[in-house]
Structure 1
Amino acid sequence: MGVDYYKILEVDKNAKDEDLEKAYRKLAMKWHPDKNPNNKKQAEAKFKEVSEAYEVLSDPQKRAVYDQYGEEGLKGQVPPPDSGGASYFSTGNGPTGFHFNPRNADDIFAEFFGMGGSGFTSSLFGDDAFAFREGVGGSMKRGGPRKASPVENRLPCRLEELYKGTSKKMKISRDIADTSGKSMKVEEILTIDIKPGWKKGTKVTFPEKGNEQPNVIPADLVFIIDEKPHSVFTRDGNDLIVTQNVSLVEALTGYTVNLTTLDGRRLTIPVDNVIHPSYEEVVQGEGMPIQKEPTKRGNLRIKFHIHFPTRVTAEQKTGMKKLLGY
């Protein structure tokens, strides 16, 4: 398999999203070059290795390719499964080739800790911690000080967290002025209460939590909710979508869907209708919570991928025609 990403992250092959996050958090903090000034070259190599492993294993499609084909599959030496819709891979030289280009390790670190493109820099290790860089521009109040531009920060959330709701605590570091006007750095814990049903793009604003400067109103701190990919479900508004693989026999004679919901319940859904390629089984009320109507939920939409046999004998064809009345 070449590079063993599971070994690099120190997890087993059945590791769940939260296991990967915990492992990456620990190792990224351990090997971040800023934390290893006396061993920077080795730390940079390990940091890059850990980031690449997390990038692959935390992405369901990349992980599927890696599990089936190993590092060679990511490099485009063999085609990945379901390659027709693999938006996470760029086309290689061959007609079915795909190539995985690892992202910059610092970008992955920034995205994981919610610092991507936001004007934050990491100030501490061990907790989610941020230090402010003032935004450019801002608005000027007539006859008064201007207000610094809002500082926006992505907050990646797992689908389970957006389904059930959760609280996230973020440590920030910022400059404030004491009574004498002298600047001093303080740390503060902000609590973000994520409500069930929140969607990507939802904003949480903490007014005037930026650095204090003379004649400037501190910037607002804005967290923007983002959704991490899920290994089973995809979200469409308030609906959840899952795809099941079925054989042709199951599609024609009946199939039972067994699912574990985002809150850990087991669902058993018998499908008695004939499953054709565009068929969807809709389960009312098993989707995402509806933010403005907490007692209601969207729907669970089950799609199907039908596996047709690659070869049918003449005897089988005759039997099927007779069975189907042709």
Structure 2
Amino acid sequence: MGVSDYYKILKVNHDATDEELKKAFKKLAMKWHPDKNYDHHKKEDFEAKFKQISEAYDVLSDPKKRQIYDFYGHYPLNSHRYNKENGDGNVKDHEKKGVVESSLGCTLEELYKGCKRRLRISRIVPDELDNLTSIEEILKIDIQPGWKKGTKITFPGKGNQENGAAPADLIFVLDEKPHALFKRDGNDLVTTQKILLVDALTGGKTLNLKTLDGRDLTVQVTEIVKPGSELVVPNEGMPISKEPGKKGNLRIKFNVMFPSRLTTQQKYELKKILE
């Protein structure tokens, strides 16, 4: 099979469950089994296709073989020994041009405060008999306050290794998990708050927010809230990693809540006031 894509062969996603793999294999096996072919001119095609399907299912249905395949990009079926222990299931790897890149998901709180992460990795290396096998290591990563999505942390020589070649580098690429309240925009934090129409027109609204480092932040809305307007709170955004002690801004957008209905008298009085 070489570097064929087993997932495409079985027509499943990369996160397919065991049950989904089993159903996909059964469906394709029924279609391509050589015994189902009554045209002897096409028998070789059916046999080749059925072999591909069987090989793909053999690898993906075995947790250890599947991890090696996902990690290494293919599963060398002629290797004498593979021993794949469970690694960190939150790290998704792919190899290209001698470098292994792994997506490292972080919460917005972790990127705000900084944190230390310990990651168990599994990588493919030749053993003393030049058979490809799997080893495990623990790597430590210090995530600094303010680091952004896409930041890369490189561990030289900690990737996969083929026979006769130097080990690849391992690179972790920071990814940002969605947050329930805030969105990041560069060094700024953006949140949308609901506000009644009367408060938008008269001011006097108090907003109580919980910051990413657990503080209670009180913000007073004193001005008229116009369509598209934002309230900017300085120095309450994300830390700026290259400028210690400095932060971006907190930008508050508003979702003005209109009343569902007005009485005739209310409409008359409102018109009189606004005119």
Provide the TM-score with structure 1 as the length reference. 0.56
Whether contact under 8 Å (1:172, 1:188) holds in the other structure is: yes
- CA separation in 2, counterparts of 1:204 and 1:120? 22
Structure 1 residues 184, 248: closer, same or farther in 2, change over 3 A?
closer
More relative contact order, 1 or 2 (CA 8 Å, 6+ apart): 2
- CA separation in 2, counterparts of 1:178 and 1:295? 49
Q: What aligned pairs does 1:265-284 form with structure 2 within 5 A after superposition?
A: 265-284=215-234
- CA separation in 2, counterparts of 1:211 and 1:118? 8
Shift of 1:175: 4.0
> Which range moves more in the overlay, 170-179 or 157-166?
170-179
Shift of 1:270: 0.6
Unpaired runs of at least 5, structure 2:
1-15, 24-67, 75-83
Shift of 1:310: 3.1
Q: Secondary structure of the residue that 1:277 maps to in structure 2?
A: coil
- CA separation in 1, counterparts of 2:198 and 2:91? 56
Q: What aligned pairs does 1:156-175 form with structure 2 within 5 A after superposition?
A: 156-175=105-124
Shift of 1:247: 1.0
- CA separation in 1, counterparts of 2:92 and 2:214? 37
Q: What aligned pairs does 1:1-326 form with structure 2 within 5 A after superposition?
A: 41=19, 123-125=84-86, 127-128=88-89, 135=95, 138=97, 149-176=98-125, 185-254=134-203, 255-324=205-274, 326=275
- Cα deviations by residue, 1:244-277 (Å, 9 ceiling, x for unpaired): 1111111112211110000110011111100112
Whether contact under 8 Å (2:92, 2:102) holds in the other structure is: no
- Cα deviations by residue, 1:177-232 (Å, 9 ceiling, x for unpaired): 56786766431101111111111110011001123334312111011111111111
- CA separation in 2, counterparts of 1:189 and 1:155? 15
Whether contact under 8 Å (1:129, 1:173) holds in the other structure is: no
Whether contact under 8 Å (1:132, 1:210) holds in the other structure is: no
- Between the two proteins, the alignment pairs up a number of residues equal to 206
Select the structure of larger CA radius of gyration. 2
Unpaired runs of at least 5, structure 1:
1-31, 34-39, 46-114, 139-148
- CA separation in 2, counterparts of 1:183 and 1:119? 10
Structure 1 residues 126, 221: closer, same or farther in 2, change over 3 A?
closer
Structure 1 residues 283, 119: closer, same or farther in 2, change over 3 A?
farther
- Cα deviations by residue, 1:79-107 (Å, 9 ceiling, x for unpaired): xxxxxxxxxxxxxxxxxxxxxxxxxxxxx
Q: Secondary structure of the residue that 2:178 maps to in structure 1?
A: coil
Provide the TM-score with structure 2 as the length reference. 0.65
Residue identity over aligned pairs, in percent, reads 50
- CA separation in 2, counterparts of 1:201 and 1:124? 28
Whether contact under 8 Å (2:191, 2:251) holds in the other structure is: yes
Whether contact under 8 Å (1:132, 1:174) holds in the other structure is: no
CA RMSD of aligned residues (A): 3.3
Q: Secondary structure of the residue that 2:246 maps to in structure 1?
A: strand
- Cα deviations by residue, 1:128-163 (Å, 9 ceiling, x for unpaired): 487987x46x4xxxxxxxxxx111111111111111
